[in-house]
Amino acid sequence: MKLRLAAAMLVLSASTALAADLTYEPAPIAAPAEAFNWTGFYIGVHGGYGWGHTQDTHNPNAFGQTLTGGFGGAQIGYNYQFANNVVLGAEADVAYSGIGKDWGGATQYDPYYGEDKIDWFGTVRARVGYSVDRFMPYLTGGLAWANVDHKLGCDPSRSPLTPRGCSRVGSFETSKSDTAWGWTVGAGVEYAVTNNVTVKAEYLYTDLGKNDVTLVDVNFPTDPVNNREFDTSFNSVKLGLNYKF
């Protein structure tokens, strides 16, 4: 009897030990990565290249000028992401610009020269995008402004075959800077490198409309075309870097 009881206790003890060996703690389940959210304020910098056209519409004899050059500046904005991943935002930016054209001496008989340039420009725009986690394509549009500079001069030394080309009064140079207002539309893509740093690429078309400028040719002071009207528009592509708060 004692032998059977001891055997039974031995079997029970072995079963308990085996059951203990078969128990294990399940591995913890990793929490899913939190989706990126675009809501928040941001500031940043950008740089790019622009090309466009300006035309003195009051002077039928004036050539239209092709404008090209680089620019760089800064931006500030705010985004709000809805539950359906649509992102609405607003952005304002400003840039120092080298977009322009020096012209003159197109022929050896032409003593006239000038410059048409966009010195500064900026926009205030709405943005609407769609969030695919850290990637967001968007459309944008709004108000645009620019400080435009126009210069006109005459220098007989630039025209060796007509050295008296400015001889009515003599050599002169006049310029005028003004602020032109217009509109802009475009599209872009933005990507969140980290939770606070995003990069973007953007294209904009900007129309500054017609801007009245007085540039008096002192050789023809009563000429009606001295009251000039420049029609200016340009395209721009840029890369930007933002810090999201």
Give the pLDDT of residue 19: 47
Give the pLDDT of residue 165: 64
- Going by CATH, does the domain composed of 42-204+211-244 fall within 2.40.160.20? yes
Give the pLDDT of residue 16: 53
Give the pLDDT of residue 10: 46
Give the pLDDT of residue 71: 98
Mind listing the pLDDT tens digit of every residue in the chain (245 residues)?
554 554 445 444 555 544 445 455 666 676 666 789 999 999 999 999 999 999 988 877 778 899 999 999 999 999 999 999 999 999 999 999 999 999 886 666 678 888 999 999 999 999 999 999 999 999 999 999 999 999 988 887 776 665 556 766 668 889 999 999 999 999 999 999 999 999 999 999 999 999 888 888 887 888 888 888 999 999 999 999 999 99
Give the pLDDT of residue 112: 84
Pairing of strands 227-244, 197-214: antiparallel
Name the residue among 144, 145, 143, 141 with its Cα closest to residue 126. Answer: 141
Give the pLDDT of residue 80: 98
